[in-house]
Structure 1
Amino acid sequence: MPLADENADNPYLREPPTDFEPIEELSEAEAERQVELLREAVREHDRRYYVENEPLVADRTYDALFARLRELEDAFDLASPDSPTRGVGGEPIEAFETVEHVAPMLSIDQSGEEADVSEFDDRVRREVGEVEYVCEPKFDGVSMEFVYEDGRLERAVTRGDGREGDDVTKNARTIGSVPQRLHGDHPDFLAVRGEVYMPKPAFQAHNRERIERGEEPFANPRNATAGTIRQLDPSVVADRPLEVFYFDVLEASELAESHLEELERFPDWGLRVNDRVEVVDDIDGAIEYRDRLLEARDDLDYEIDGTVIKVDDREAREELGRTARHDRYAFAYKFPARAEVTPIVDVAVQIGRTGRVTPVALLEPVDVGGVTVSRASLHNPEEIAEKNVDVGDTVRVQRAGDVIPYVEEVVENGAENEPGSHYELPDHCPVCGSAIERDGPMAFCTGGLACDAQLRRSIEYYASDDGLDLEGLGEKSVRQLVDAGLLESVADLYELEREALTGLEGWGETSAENLLAEINSSREPPLADFLSALGIPHVGPTTARELAREFGTFEAVREAAEDDPESLEDVDDVGTTVADQIHDFFASEANAAAVDAVLEHVSPRETELESGGDELEGLTFVFTGSLEDLTRSEARETVEAHGGSATGSVSGNTDYLVIGGSPGQTKLDDAETEDVPVLDEAAFRDLLAERGIEPE
């Protein structure tokens, strides 16, 4: 396609110069002219790249032009809402405004049965006579409205309820295939419907990164797209690989006579269309198209779940009209769900809290027991070798206990895989670069707390019910604090400041003060709680209590672990394997440094856990909120010293929930659901007094 006439003399289109004159040598008029030319050029390069798939310049040259444009806009204060540079992100959005659509964005009547498709055709021919159909892939993404006025993108709105949706214009501007301005001879007003999606290869790569960072991966590309497009921070959207296909005109100042004519004009305006659109003479041709597309489904780099069949003629479409829910001129012929058998696209390496390496198969999304699955555990290197599992193999996926997906068997080896070959773990951790070492059937990252993946999970565990029970510091908040650079070690918890917390999204004065109060109350934890919180492999709350009973102080436990690990085996619950794990933990230089840093803020106290009686035997307590006269740790010690049990979460086995100031809402809700009695601190003390117990 020839370049637009208005761009023909633009020096930045073909073989553009990238050795620009210094900014300080330009006059304001010269800067304005250069900005104008660069914007035109960048828009044309975007169209050539995203729409025509025929780039004029190399990526490095494009980057130089783009950087120059941004530099000029900043230096001469020439920012513009429709500049291509607006697509790199912006200030976070406080909330999305609800906007009414130009025209209703209705759903499509659909079925997976051929008889229903034929019935649709019978009705169409009965009402408007013989027609041609336009057949398109049914994209499995997020449908949106894009409104252009005088060729400029004015707003982008999610489908919402079909009548109104969320204004996500700032986020949409960051997507490369969304033009800020239309090209060519475009209508003065144009509202188009498009499907935002995440390409499958980009989705798998993004999920791999999330898994290796210790984050929860997305279930499928559609969820990834939906979660991205509604991010409050456009810079997050800009970093994620989204694309758009445009497939319909909602409203325009100039309308074509057929749907196909509209789609043929889209590329001239810079709007990207799918290359698998076809026109057929009758419904048999539409059914044949659907069958061909089903066969090609796995080879496409985007997710589809069927075929959309549309009447081509606009007049006939108007005559057919619409119901309250869907347009009567279109029908979606759905594909059957993929069931249990699917190819492995890639393998990601997940690093656990203790450094355990778990290989995770990234799959083409598949239906397993009514649930869409896009990843499955490969458990460990030994199991991979036994099953000869490799990237590219087609495998059968099952769900253990209807919960955890796993690869059951290889159904067919990948075309490029030799018989008997299997995936091999990398030699080094993808997160921290430390060596990965085998321990029997398992593999472990040797980075310890110096590994970011282990660090994040270590902080989560340190704050969990099995650790120091720091309410308000769960997986989501830990990830946010780590990503913000506020936590680079467990010890950093004790250096958090209120101003830094309140500067983060979702944090107010109250939540910040509550968290800081929780952290401060943990500076003198019972020895058993501290030992458990460190996350030493195989040392949970029970083993930690036995170690505290045996050695009395943290220094004694550490000295035994480093110098006399055999003495650990005298402790109940500690055998040779556990003793070796405790020794290895303290022998690690990285772990030792991390523990020493925590000890600069925390003084574990010796805890007398010898039984003081059985007054509370058979009773289970859960504590939440800030107690005034004693800490939650001291309250748990008292309960356990007198035969009771103290757990971290409310269940049907809980006898009492004891609450202090700012109690956790989840525990309160669980107590109401399970009909568990709730005691304040005074009532708890009264209960103890009735049984002859006086907390120290």
Structure 2
Amino acid sequence: MTVKEKIDQLRADLHRHNYNYYVLNAPEISDKEFDDRMRELQELEKEHPEYQDDNSPTMRVGSDLNKNFTQVAHKYPMLSLGNTYSESEVTDFYDRVKKALNEDFEICCELKYDGTSISLTYENGKLVRAVTRGDGEKGDDVTDNVKTIRTIPLVLHGSYPELFEIRGEILMPWEVFEELNREKEAREEPLFANPRNAASGTLKLQNSAIVASRKLDAYLYYLLGEELPCDGHYENLQAAAGWGFKTSEHMKKAHSLEEVFEYIRYWDTERKNLPVATDGIVLKVNSMRQQKNLGFTAKSPRWAIAYKFQAERALTRLNKVTYQVGRTGAVTPVANLDPVQLSGTIVKRASLHNADIIEGLDLHIGDMVYVEKGGEIIPKITGVDKDARSMLIGEKVKFITHCPECGSKLIRYEGEAAHYCPNETSCPPQIKGKIEHFISRKAMNIDGLGPETVDMFYRLGLIKNTADLYQLTADDIKNLDRMGEKSAENIIKGIEASKEVPFERVLFALGIRFVGETVAKKIAKSFNDIDELENANLEKLINIDEIGEKIAQSILTYFANPLNRELIERLKSTGLQLYRREEDLSGYTDKLAGQSIVISGVFTHHSRDEYKELIEKNGGKNVGSISAKTSFILAGENMGPAKLEKAHKLGIKLMSEDEFLTLIS
């Protein structure tokens, strides 16, 4: 046997034994035998570097060389799921799917693992890339770290597609988490708050040898690609398990709403016996064809929803109430509590939301209060144990009247629960919050800058607003605390690179109240530049799809402020893309200008979302319901009978897929 043959045999044996031990829990050899073979392979690879292989089993031990992460764009966006906390909302989801599809469907019920999301790409049966969720559009390449996770196969077996992506959750088992915290406690280091944070933090370590020592686990839950084995999501994951992936054995297909509820009720209790953290149930339409036809909203798929388990509750003492000011000026009261364990984390602070909540709870300093984690994420106070009150109870909690940061008198807009500090151009937390929003990934995406750096630059007087960022030089910041020449250069490069960010993201970055990502895109398609937007009146703004009076008034208020207009002028002078470029307009026509179109039914050539985009690109307007103003209905198969009847009654034309594609071709 040649050296190459011996190396290949050892690699194949170790891949197989790793799968048997970590995925099947059915080892065929002892730990010592496994370790002996691993050492033999390591020695042979060291002696014969010409046979190096990035997917060798020896990669699982990691390297102690630090490595920076690069960002990679996702081929398919990684969207978050819509959350629900009640069975009635699950029923609403089920009914929406039933109505939209108008044909039989199955729901795949899965446990919602509480870890950090990962996307794995395989080519010719080998792992080539592992990318974190990031902002959903792009994430960090953490391939070297992921290779140390023994439940993730480096090389597949069986018959698999040539190229595909599989997504899942990387987790830290409870047992490993508790042991890690015991070690940190012994070294007097800060403890991890929960297994999710521990897994996420571990995955982003630059030393993969430490990652390997943390014994992370993984469950894979979604397959993507052009040549998947089945139309069924459940069936695809069964196939993936045969290729070597660890998938959940607790998945189940439901054929009725009652079967969905049976699954939810069983796991509400039984999940506490699992070795890893879960925080709910995920419900997915099983057919990939039906998933495509249901499509997506701006933030989440219409074919899936996450049911979150009811929050746990704990009783603890309220010591004081402090107030935080956000970037929009909203003032949030925060309860400071005696530390208490809740859903696997230590809770010391909880949101009180607004003045009405405080008044409704009749809170006093020293009260024993009930704390819950809404969706097991954000702690909140839900009640007071008034029977536990004594003569020593403190004063009644009253909402403040002036900003705790700048002293401005707070205001409360009609119809809103929150109080606001109106001093948006001089209140420090608002200024810093606006800058942090401006540099964020979904906005200007300026690498090297974060909240701590923004805070330091602000305190030192280097920046007072977003335009000041573009006046910074490497010399200004290279000698600052924890900065250095290389970090300073990277920040300046990131600021310079942000000048290429398209108009729609610059609009979002400005932080105009109520102008989120989706609204910013609509505005960018409706105006040639920022000057046109600045001079627009209420009527013109309201005529834009999805912009109502509330958003329009907010835009008008923003541009009515002379300081905001001055800021815009400064940003324009830096070279930011505050206008629509020719490439932004490519593919746009006015073939559907002035037409309101309803989409209904199941389609063959494109998904509903793709058709919506085509309508917008050709100047049309998507509307959700049929009326006398509807121009025509883009009608697929199995169109709902109610819509069909209304269309006939109003004499609205039905247009097939092929007719529509011919119209805009």
TM-score by length of 2: 0.48
Higher relative contact order (CA 8 A, sep 6+): 2
TM-score using structure 1 length:
0.46
